[in-house]
C-alpha cells in the first residue's frame, strides 16, 4: 500500500501550508523593501543651501563657530576655544540598537582634525546620552580641557579613568570664566522621548549598551563674550521659565525629533527658548543621522523617524513672523553665528 487515502494525492494536504509559507515570505520581502525605501527617504539638504552662513574670514575679536554634527560645536575667539560634547565616534546603527558602543580613538582623531581642534579650555556636556557624553572625557584628555558636566557625566569620565582633578561639576546658573568667555549652564529638560532617562549612578565602563548612557540631567549653555551672547540648546526640550531674563543674540537650537510633536509643543519650545532670550538669529543643530561617520556628508534622519523639512518649515514660518533670522551652518566650516550690530 502507498499510504494515505485512496485516490487522494499526497500534496493536497500540504498545499495550504505551502501557500501560507509563500505568502509570509512575500510579506516579509515586501516589508523589507518598504523599510529599505523608507530608510532612504530623507529630506534633501539642497533646499537649504541658501540659508547657509558664509565661511568666516579673519576677524579679530569675533567668535567663530564650527558645527561638527549632533550638538558638537566649537566656539573660538582666536585666543580661547570651547567645545560642547565632542561626539565623534558615531557608532553604526547595528551597534547602537543591539550591540555595544565605545569611544573610537581613530574617529576622535579624525573629528578633531576635521574641526581644526588642538587645544580647548573646556568641554561642556549638555547631557549624558552616548551621542553627547561618550567621547567627551577622551576629547578633553587629548585637548587639555576641563570637562564640565553632571554627576552622570562624571561617571562616564570615571569609567574611562579620566583625571578627576580636571572634572568640573556643573552648577545650575553659576558662571564660569574661560578667557574672555563667560559660560553659564542652566538646567533644562530633554526632549520627552522617554529613552535612557534617569541617572548614571556608577562608573560606566565601555563598551556598553547605548542605553546605559542615561540622560542624567540636561543643560542650556549660555556663552557670553564681548562680541555677543550665544545659547546652545542641545535637545528640543525646555525647563519652563528657566531662561526668563537671560539674553542671547543667537541660539543654536537642537531640533532632533521636533517634527514628531504637534504645533503646540513647537510653539512652547520657541517661546521658552527663542522668545525668552530675545534671539535675533536661530541656527538648527542636532538634525543629522549620527549613526553615519562624520567624514561622510551629513544627512538628516529618514522621514520615518524625523522630518527635517517639517521642522524647517515651522522655524522659517515662525522666524518670519517674529523677525528672527533662520540660518544653517556648513559642517566643519568656521562661521560667525552672532549677528553683527
Per-residue pLDDT tens digits for 252-282: 999 999 999 999 999 999 999 999 999 999 9
- CA–CA separation, 303 and 94 (whole Å): 19
Residue 23 lies in a domain: no
Q: Is the pLDDT of residue 214 over 80?
A: yes
List the beta bridge partners of residue 147. 123, 167
181-209 residue pLDDT tens = 999 999 999 999 999 999 999 999 999 99
58-114 residue pLDDT tens = 888 899 999 999 999 999 999 999 999 999 999 999 999 999 999 999 999 999 999
Residue 15 lies in a domain: no
**For a pLDDT cut of 70, what percent of the chain falls above it?**
89
Q: Is the pLDDT of residue 9 over 60?
A: no
| Residue 229, CA distances (Å) to 76, 203, 225 in order | 13, 35, 6
Span 48-65, average pLDDT: 94
Residue 2 lies in a domain: no
Q: Can you give the CATH number for the domain in which 187 is found?
A: 3.60.15.10
- CA–CA separation, 160 and 101 (whole Å): 13
The predicted pLDDT at position 18 comes to: 61
Residue 269 lies in a domain: yes
Residue with cell 548614571: 200
| Residue 189, CA distances (Å) to 181, 273, 290, 327 in order | 24, 12, 21, 24
- ∠ CA 252-253-259, nearest 5°, is 155
Q: Is the pLDDT of residue 11 over 50?
A: no
Angle (deg, nearest 10), helices 136-143 and 105-114: 60
How many domains does the structure of the chain reveal? 1
Residue 259 lies in a domain: yes
Q: Is the pLDDT of residue 37 over 90?
A: no
- The pTM (predicted TM-score) of the whole model is 0.89
Grid cell in block for residue 106: 581613530
Which domain does 310 fall in, by range?
56-326
Greater model confidence, 211 or 27? 211
Span 39-66, average pLDDT: 92
Residue 112 lies in a domain: yes
286-317 residue pLDDT tens = 999 999 999 999 999 999 999 999 999 999 99
Residue 223 lies in a domain: yes
Helices (H) and strands (E) in the chain, counts: 9, 13
Count CB-CB contacts under 10 A for residue 322: 13
Q: Nearest Cα to 243, choosing from 215, 269, 261, 216?
A: 269
- CA–CA separation, 9 and 23 (whole Å): 23
| Residue 338, CA distances (Å) to 64, 294, 333, 341 in order | 8, 25, 15, 9
Residue 198 lies in a domain: yes
Amino acid at each position: 500500500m502507498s499510504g494515505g487515502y485512496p485516490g487522494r494525492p499526497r500534496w493536497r494536504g500540504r498545499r495550504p501550508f505551502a501557500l501560507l509559507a509563500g505568502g509570509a515570505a512575500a510579506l516579509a520581502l515586501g516589508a523589507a523593501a518598504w523599510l529599505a525605501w523608507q530608510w532612504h527617504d530623507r529630506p534633501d539638504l539642497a533646499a537649504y543651501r541658501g540659508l547657509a552662513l558664509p565661511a568666516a574670514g579673519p576677524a579679530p575679536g569675533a567668535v567663530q563657530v564650527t558645527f561638527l554634527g549632533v550638538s558638537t560645536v566649537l566656539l573660538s575667539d582666536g585666543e580661547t576655544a570651547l567645545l560642547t560634547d565632542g561626539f565623534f565616534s558615531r557608532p553604526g546603527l547595528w551597534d547602537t540598537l543591539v550591540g555595544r558602543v565605545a569611544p573610537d580613538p581613530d574617529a576622535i582623531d579624525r573629528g578633531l582634525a576635521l574641526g581644526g581642534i588642538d587645544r580647548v579650555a573646556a568641554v561642556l556636556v549638555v547631557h549624558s546620552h552616548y551621542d553627547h557624553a561618550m567621547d567627551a572625557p577622551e576629547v578633553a584628555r587629548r585637548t587639555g580641557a576641563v570637562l564640565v558636566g553632571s554627576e552622570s557625566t562624571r561617571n562616564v569620565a570615571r569609567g574611562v579613568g579620566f583625571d578627576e582633578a580636571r572634572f568640573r561639576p556643573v552648577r545650575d546658573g553659576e558662571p564660569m570664566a574661560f578667557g574672555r568667555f563667560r559660560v553659564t549652564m542652566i538646567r533644562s529638560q530633554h526632549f520627552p522621548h522617554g529613552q535612557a532617562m534617569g541617572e548614571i549612578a556608577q562608573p560606566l565602563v565601555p563598551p556598553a549598551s547605548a542605553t546605559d548612557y542615561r540622560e542624567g540631567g540636561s543643560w542650556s549653555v549660555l556663552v557670553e563674550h564681548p562680541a555677543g551672547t550665544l545659547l546652545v540648546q542641545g535637545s528640543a526640550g525646555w525647563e519652563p521659565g528657566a531662561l526668563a531674563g537671560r539674553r542671547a543674540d543667537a541660539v543654536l537650537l537642537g531640533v532632533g525629533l521636533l517634527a514628531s510633536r504637534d504645533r503646540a509643543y513647537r510653539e512652547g519650545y520657541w517661546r521658552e527658548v527663542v522668545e525668552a532670550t530675545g534671539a535675533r538669529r536661530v541656527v538648527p543643530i542636532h538634525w543629522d543621522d549620527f549613526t553615519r561617520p562624520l567624514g561622510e556628508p551629513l544627512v538628516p534622519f529618514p522621514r520615518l523617524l524625523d522630518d527635517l523639512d517639517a521642522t524647517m518649515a515651522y522655524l522659517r514660518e515662525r522666524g518670519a513672523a517674529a523677525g528672527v533670522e533662520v540660518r544653517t551652518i556648513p559642517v566643519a566650516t568656521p562661521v560667525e553665528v552672532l549677528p553683527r550690530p
